[in-house]
């Protein structure tokens, strides 16, 4: 199974996370409009990525050997919680005024949610995708 598309999307998501970090370093309140735009853009990419995984990747892996199918099920279930956390984050922080009014709350939420997302992408790239490709 070729996972290059998923890896490229992961790289794009990481790029958005890094851009958010740069904007925050420049000042959350002063960069609130750019931050909100970045959250919206990243959300679109994440929604598309998750949709494709759920529609194509995970169903295909359910037909694989039992160990890989079980691992795919585990990853899919874990992602449901991460996706819900990110969805809440993106709905709360897609408005520049709200970000500017609560910069430290935004920072805390971004650090928590984006760290979880970043760690998950790393695990998929290092552990899960090589397992899928080896099968």
pLDDT in tens, 59-91: 999 988 899 999 999 999 999 999 999 999 999
Helix (H) or strand (E) holding 127: none
pLDDT at 48 (0 to 100): 93
pLDDT at 110 (0 to 100): 97
Read off the tokens for 42. Answer: 């990243």
Low-confidence spans in the chain with pLDDT less than 70? none
List the alpha helices (DSSP H) in the chain: 4-25, 32-52, 58-61, 66-92, 96-101, 103-123, 129-134
Domain positions in the chain are 4-134
pLDDT at 105 (0 to 100): 98
Class of domain 4-134: mainly alpha
> What is the C-alpha to C-alpha distance for residues 74 and 24, in angstroms, rounded to an integer?
33
pLDDT at 102 (0 to 100): 97
DSSP 135: -
The per-residue DSSP string of 65-78 comes to -HHHHHHHHHHHHH
pLDDT at 135 (0 to 100): 85
């Amino acid at each position: 199974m070729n996972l290059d598309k998923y890896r490229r999307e992961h790289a794009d998501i990481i790029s958005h996370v890094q851009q958010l970090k740069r904007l925050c370093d420049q000042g959350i309140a002063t960069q609130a409009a750019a931050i909100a735009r970045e959250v919206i853009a990243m959300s679109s990419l994440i929604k598309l990525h998750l949709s494709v995984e759920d529609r194509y990747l995970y169903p295909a892996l359910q037909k694989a050997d039992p160990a890989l199918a079980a691992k795919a099920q585990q990853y899919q279930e874990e992602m449901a919680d991460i996706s819900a956390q990110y969805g809440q984050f993106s709905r709360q922080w897609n408005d520049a005024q709200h970000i500017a009014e609560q910069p430290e709350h935004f920072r805390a939420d971004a650090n928590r949610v984006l760290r979880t997302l970043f760690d998950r992408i790393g695990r998929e790239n290092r552990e899960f995708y090589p397992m899928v490709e080896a099968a």
